[in-house]
Structure 1
Amino acid sequence: MRSLMCLLFLVIFCSVQMTSSAVISIGSAQSKCCGKEITNVKIPVKLVKYYYWTSSICGRRAIVFQTKAGREICVDPESTWVNGHIDKVDKRTTV
């Protein structure tokens, strides 16, 4: 009887841990969306430290450039200058 109670407790504990982890991961994915603050203004490539794509659950996909000062700027991936910046950042980080 005691081992059954221990097993039940373990199952409940694990399910609570899995549920709380899922909420955190959903919350962090939503925080990686860009609202209407997507810009087309060209950012100097020397200021860009790295970039990442916004989450696939966002209403509009965008690229986020993080500057060396730590500022995150949402840019339109369809802008002509963005691909050049991505290539330069990729070359800089792989070398």
Structure 2
Amino acid sequence: MRHLMALMFLVIFCSLQLTTSAPVGPDLAKSTCCSEFSNAQIPLKLVKSYYRTDSSCFKPAIVFETDKRKICVDPETSWVNHHITKVDKRITKTQSKI
């Protein structure tokens, strides 16, 4: 009887390990979704980079990264596309110098 209980415990433990494991990838931190958007316009000089949230998110968003934090913004906001264009140009200039 003890062997059967030990075997059942082992099977349950192994099953939990399989179901709680998640895939690990290099952009795992960038796969988070935004639940709220910032209403404030972020100064362009503070924006270091940006990324789009995953297509599986309920609300599509742009995440601007500064030195101190990540800020979710609505991609439909008028100033967001201007910031994206400027950051892309800045990154392209930096990469062409290398």
Q: Could you say which TM-score interval applies, normalised by the shorter chain? A: 0.5 to 0.7
For residues 42 and 48 of structure 1, the distance between their equivalents in structure 2, rounded to whole angstroms, comes to: 11
**What is the CA distance between 1:75 and its match in structure 2?**
0.2
| Contact 1:34/1:60 (8 A) holds in 2 | yes
Specify the structure having the higher radius of gyration (Cα): 2
Structure 2 counterpart of 1:11: none
TM-score by length of structure 2 reads 0.65
For residues 30 and 49 of structure 2, the distance between their equivalents in structure 1, rounded to whole angstroms, comes to: 20
For 1:60, give the aligned amino acid: K
For residues 23 and 56 of structure 1, the distance between their equivalents in structure 2, rounded to whole angstroms, comes to: 19
For structure 1, the 5+ residue unaligned runs are: 1-18
* Paired residues for 1:44-59 under 5 Å: 44-59=43-58
Check if 1:67 corresponds to 2:66.
yes
Identical columns (%): 55
SS in 2 for 1:60: coil
Kindly indicate whether structure 1 or structure 2 has the higher relative contact order, using CA contacts under 8 Å at least 6 residues apart: 1
Coordinate RMSD, CA, aligned: 2.6
Structure 2 counterpart of 1:41: 40
Structure 2 counterpart of 1:10: none
For structure 2, the 5+ residue unaligned runs are: 1-17, 94-98
| Contact 1:52/1:65 (8 A) holds in 2 | yes
| Contact 1:51/1:64 (8 A) holds in 2 | yes
For residues 30 and 66 of structure 2, the distance between their equivalents in structure 1, rounded to whole angstroms, comes to: 21
For residues 38 and 84 of structure 1, the distance between their equivalents in structure 2, rounded to whole angstroms, comes to: 17
For residues 30 and 24 of structure 1, the distance between their equivalents in structure 2, rounded to whole angstroms, comes to: 14
Deviation by residue 1:31-67 (Cα, 9 ceiling, x = unmatched) = 51001x2123100000000000001110010000000
SS in 2 for 1:86: helix
* Paired residues for 1:11-22 under 5 Å: none
Structure 2 counterpart of 1:86: 84
